[in-house]
């Protein structure tokens, strides 16, 4: 049986080492970003409804796991229940501006 030849880092071109280092940092950063996003996201806005499944996918499927989570795993948050027009007593921009600067006159300044 023939033993595999050992490869030393000095025999690998510098450009290849730099490319591998950049890809490793990119993967690590993307994994951290995906995991932080997953931790902050409510459970009802995660596809499959189980965060632990996504943690396993992100960590075990390397770069594609984080990309898959960011593309497929996140769902938009449901709209708030009170998403209709402003409530009757709520201040609007005009009333706030009138309170700060006084009421506007209907005539234009000369």
Q: Is 2 helix (H, G, I), strand (E, B) or coil?
A: coil
Output the pLDDT for position 108.
59
C-beta of residue 67 within 8 angstroms of C-beta of residue 30? yes
State residue 89's pLDDT score: 64
Q: For position 76, what pLDDT does the model report?
A: 77
Q: How many CA atoms lie within 13 A of 104 on its CB side?
A: 8
Rounded CA separation 97/37 (Å) = 38
Is the whole model's pTM more than 0.75, yes or no?
no
Share of the chain above pLDDT 70, in %: 77
pLDDT (0 to 100) of residue 86: 53
Determine the distance from the C-alpha atom of residue 53 to the mean position of all C-alpha atoms in its chain, rounded to a whole number: 18
What contacts 20, CB < 8 A, 6 or more positions away? none
Residues of the chain with pLDDT under 70: 1-5, 77-90, 106-110
């Amino acid at each position: 049986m023939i033993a595999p030849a050992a490869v030393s880092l000095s025999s690998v071109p510098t450009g290849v080492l730099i490319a591998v280092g950049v890809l490793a940092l990119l993967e690590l950063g993307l994994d951290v970003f995906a995991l932080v996003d997953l931790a902050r996201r409510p459970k009802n806005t995660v596809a499959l409804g189980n965060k632990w499944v996504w943690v396993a996918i992100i960590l075990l499927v390397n770069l594609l796991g984080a990309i898959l989570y960011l593309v497929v795993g996140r769902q938009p948050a449901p709209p708030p229940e009170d998403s209709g027009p402003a409530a009757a007593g709520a201040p609007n921009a005009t009333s706030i501006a009138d309170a700060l600067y006084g009421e506007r006159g209907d005539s234009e300044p000369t």
